[in-house]
Amino acid sequence: MSSLSDPAPRLPGQQYFASIARWSPGEIIFWAALLAVFFVPDANLPLYGQIVIWGLFAMSLDLLLGYRGIPSMGHAAFFGIGAYTAGYLGKFGWTEPISGLVLAALVAGLVGWLTGRVIQRVSGIALLMVTLGLNLILYDIVHRQSELTGGDDGLQGVVIAPVLGLFRFDIFGRTAYLYALAVTFVLFLVARALVKSPFGLALLGARENPRRMITLGTPIERDVSTVFAIASAMAGAAGALLTQTTQFVSPATLSFQRSADVLVILIIGGTGRLYGGFIGAIVFLLLRDWLAALSPVYWYFWIGFLLVIVVAFFRRGIVPSVETLAQRLRRR
Amino acid sequence: MTSVLTVLFNGVAYGMLLFIMSVGLSVTMGMMNFVNLAQASFSMLGGYTMVAVTQKFGIPFLASLPIAFVVVGIASLVLERLVFRHFYGTDDLTQVLLTIGLIFMSIAIVTYFWGSTYQQVSVPAWLTGQQEVLGFTLERYRMFLVVVGGALAFVLVFGLERTRFGAIVRACVDNNRVARACGLNTQLVFALTFAIGGGLAGLAGALSANLLGIDPNFPLRYLVYLLIVVSVGGMGTISGTLIAGLVLGVGDVACKYYVPQIGGFVIYAITVAVMLWRPHGLLGRRA
Amino acid sequence: MRTLTLSLTAAGLVLGLATHANAQDSIKVGVLVGYSGISSLSGQQTDAAIKLFQKRYGEAPGGKKIELIRRDTTGPNPEVAKRLVQEVVTRDKARILIGPDFTPNTLAAAPIVTEAKIPTMVIGAATTGIIEKSPYFTRTFFATPQQCKPLAPYAVKNNWKRVYVMVADFAPGHDCEKYYISTLTEAGGTVVGNVRIPLSNPEFSAYMQRIKDSKPDALFIFMPLGEPSIGALRAVNDSGLKASGVKILAVGDTTDETYVDAVGDAALGTITTGIYSTQHDSAMNKEFVKDFEALNGKSPRIGWTAIAIWDAFRLAYDGLEAQSGSSFDPDKFMAFVHGRSFESPRGPITIDKATGDIIQNIYIRRTDKIDGVLQNVEIATLPNEGFK
């Protein structure tokens, strides 16, 4: 019996979207913890700042791969485009970080949108090869045009002004960490709203059964370009964050190594959960740092082993596996 | 004119090497739908086997080639039985990541046993230097590669088209379910094909060590070329891999000769163009 | 009650002084080189050189015990290197830095070491102008002009006037090409052609053909350490270019002792510029090589990384000795280093007073086989070559 004081009775669809939009306690704890880390004395903020940036980068790939099912082996191209844009802005006088970041993200997003249009018809191995090929071509150009880009030595003379005119990028990595965290959180909110919206559902549907989605009238081709644009823009933002916090940009930002690393990070953490990218980044980077210190020549072995184990036994990645485990425990 | 033909010849030799390295991957991808990037590690293993066998046991270079084939063939068979067959039927990305993990492990294992330096590779004197052939001065080792590659291509295509085993393999590639329904032991066929593909990769590694050098980072350096040859040629087709290898080999060498400023990026551009035009590769068939 | 307070205060004072004195007695030195990936041999050489140095000269120059903090840069990876420098400087409180190696890593470190005032030894970057990026940089490596210019007048002097120039297609290669070509043209030689080769290039036949077509007297090669060098030298040999009489001139990277064995006999006869050869004929070097091989074995061989680290430690130790008895002052350290001259196993070295860059002998060497082992035999010396 609906009471007269009930505002507008919700339709089942709206109820659905409202219910999935609720914040779980785990999510709140996650972000609170990331903020709290800043206050821990002697915390390794430079490392944690980079973990946050990788997490954002991996999350952007999640939108493409996890939610839309488009595997990309060249996602670093957009990271690098954002990084270099922010670098050139900083080099030629546009030193304000926040506007520089927005501009870098827009440029990367535009290129991403174009790429989305180009790869419409391709799927499977061909898609992997095209994304890989484009990434390698971009890297080759940037790397060899050392007069324009500084090549391997990196772009020289990048100057980034203090955030909001107040907070200088200090050598302890304090400003860098909070800045990266703030930007990442904002973009996360955007991504979260996106995947929990009808658009997000349409992506999932197109991932599972494109033909059915077409019969429902979904503009899946336009959606592919859109999600590509958004994922690329976020990757570009991550790249810009790296440039601004380190005042340096080199071709390593668009290398195949980076594309492969972010893919591995996302798979380890789990696709289709948005948090998978962050968890994967935390696990991968901390583990790599620790293993490299223990066994500098042989840490490759353990990373390879980890990858094999994750793929074999925790195929869906850490986050979904933990979720399943939690559910099973709750049912007991 | 001499230069043009010499360039062509060198390109063909390079293409033959790419072909031998990639043919195993093409067959396993086409037949079992299994993306085995660890083929690059098999090639590395073949190279190290050749070096170990010629330097430690004094076995002549030519004899070391079939040894590399057999050793790596057995190793890939073992790996297939123990690890890979559990992943048939999983999606491409899973297989890519699994085999990349294996590549990382192989790099560390090789470093552990052989160290991180490049191996000293030497071939018998009759394979070094140049030879005058019909007015052209050609490198002997490259002539050797062309001969071996051509012979292998012939054997493989002939084997596939004309022998009973070849017919069985083709049946399994075309339609696994029906083949099984006809009573063919697909498991055995898969295992054997895997072994042959791996052995070929090992052979390629042994052959390429003299031209390309051998060190623990070998798989990561050549992985991209493997993928390019296989995807451009089409999966599951030997002729496709051969043509792709030759096109890419000749294209690469020719571009570097005539337009060196463009350099290596031609190979990537060709790949992207082919993938957009014919996503299943030049000679691949729609699954 | 009073006695208790007094004795506690006294005890506190004594403890305070003791810990203060202890803090004076040690100094943290960061060592940032590549231990994994493409540069793992540099890491091994570094550790070997440090081990020998500390065995000979102890661990406490000027009364301050050295605590080494080793970090793996994993190769030219500025993102990682910058973070490692931050960590080592702000959290581990290192006061002196050896490394990081590679130009991009060193450039990324510049702002941090300037702000934190950390004297930094550049042991793995050759780019010109890099030392000016921080007043706390000083170099024990070499500068690109030192490596790339001398073979131009040498070629002309020997009447190899037509030279083909082949460099790796990345920033250091472009730099080297620029220096060599301008010096060659000034000396009266002719560049009959030049080509830039992609770094990840397995196949040289097309380039060899182009070089043959232009019929040069000599070929000048710039390739970095490792695979590109090995491939280039073998290709030059296999394609018959060398046998046809073309003189092979190259930078020392190509025949560095660490990798030359993988090139094999194809390296014989190559004429290179270098800063160090295990064959250098001085009593100091003979002793250095003997002790090094006795302590660390014959593999990996001694390359220029080992010598750059050795001399970096020499400078660090001498600088610390000069400040013995007082707490570490980075500006005094840099003032001490600037203008300092000393004898190294490679020959005499001077650190330029104005910039902190390195002035050293450059040797023209030829790769020969001595007792079955490939060695760089010095055939000419250019004394006190500047870094410009």
| Closest chain B CA to residue A296 | B108
Candidates C40, C210, C238: best to mutate against B (most CBs of B within 10 A) is C238
Residue C226 to residue C305: CA distance in whole angstroms: 13
Distances, alpha carbon A303 to alpha carbons A89, A300, B124, C172, in Å: 37, 5, 39, 32
Residue A112 to residue A78: CA distance in whole angstroms: 7
Candidates C33, C91, C131: best to mutate against A (most CBs of A within 10 A) is C91
CB within 8 Å of A134: residues ≥ 6 apart: A74, A77, A115, B272
CB of B183 within 8 Å of any CB in chain C?
no
Interface contact flag, B92 A128, Cβ < 8 Å: yes
CB of C93 within 8 Å of any CB in chain A?
no
Interface contact flag, C87 A246, Cβ < 8 Å: no
Q: How confident is the model at residue C358 (pLDDT cuts 50, 70, 90)?
A: very high
> Contacts of residue C169 in chain A, CB cutoff 8 Å?
144
Q: How confident is the model at residue A323 (pLDDT cuts 50, 70, 90)?
A: confident
Q: How confident is the model at residue A214 (pLDDT cuts 50, 70, 90)?
A: confident
> Contacts of residue C201 in chain B, CB cutoff 8 Å?
263-264
Lowest mean pLDDT among B114-118, B275-279, C42-46, C345-349: B114-118
Residue A138 to residue A115: CA distance in whole angstroms: 13
Lowest mean pLDDT among B88-92, B110-114, C132-136: B88-92
Residue A220 to residue A199: CA distance in whole angstroms: 10
Average pLDDT value for residue range A81-97: 93
CB of A124 within 8 Å of any CB in chain C?
no
> Contacts of residue C231 in chain B, CB cutoff 8 Å?
212-213
CB of A1 within 8 Å of any CB in chain C?
no
Q: Cα distance from A65 to chain B (closest Cα, Å)? A: 10
> Contacts of residue A144 in chain C, CB cutoff 8 Å?
169-170, 196, 198
pLDDT at residue A327, as a whole number: 86
> Contacts of residue A153 in chain C, CB cutoff 8 Å?
103-104, 107, 127, 171-172
Q: Which of residues 221-260 of C touch A (CB under 8 A)?
A: none
Q: What is the sign, positive or negative, of the torsion defined by CA atoms of A54, A242, A290, C295?
A: positive
**Tokens linked to C99:** 């490394």
Candidates A137, A171, A172, A285: best to mutate against C (most CBs of C within 10 A) is A171
Interface contact flag, B268 A311, Cβ < 8 Å: no
**Tokens linked to A330:** 């709750």
CB of B80 within 8 Å of any CB in chain C?
no
Residue A25 reports pLDDT greater than 90:
no
Residue C335 reports pLDDT greater than 60:
yes
Average pLDDT value for residue range A26-39: 92
The beta-carbon neighbor of B231 closest among A125, A267, A300 is A125
**What is the SS3 string spanning chain C?**
CHHHHHHHHHHHHHHHHHHHHHHHCEEEEEEEECCCHHHHHHHHHHHHHHHHHHHHHCCCHHHCEEEEEEEECCCCCHHHHHHHHHHHHHHCCCCEEECCCCHHHHHHHHHHHHHHCCCEEECCCCCCCCHHHCCCEEECCCCHHHHHCCHHHHHHHCCCCEEEEEEECCHHHHHHHHHHHHHHHHHCCEEEEEEEECCCCCCCHHHHHHHHHHCCCEEEEECCCCHHHHHHHHHHHHCCCCCCCCEEEEEHHHHCHHHHHHHHHHHCCCEEEECCCCCCCCHHHHHHHHHHHHHHCCCCCCCHHHHHHHHHHHHHHHHHHHCCCCCCCHHHHHHHHCCCEEEECCEEEEECCCCCCEEEEEEEEEEEEECCEEEEEEEEEEEEECCC
> Contacts of residue C232 in chain B, CB cutoff 8 Å?
none
Mean of the per-residue pLDDT values for chain B? 86
Q: How confident is the model at residue C22 (pLDDT cuts 50, 70, 90)?
A: very low
ipTM of this model? 0.85
CB atoms within 10 A of CB C72: 23
> Contacts of residue C264 in chain B, CB cutoff 8 Å?
120-122
Q: What is the sign, positive or negative, of the torsion defined by CA atoms of B4, B10, B13, B18?
A: negative
CB within 8 Å of C333: residues ≥ 6 apart: C96, C119, C319, C320, C323
> Contacts of residue C223 in chain B, CB cutoff 8 Å?
none
pLDDT at residue C17, as a whole number: 46
Q: Output the pTM of the full model.
A: 0.88
Q: Which of residues 171-200 of C touch B (CB under 8 A)?
A: 195-198, 200
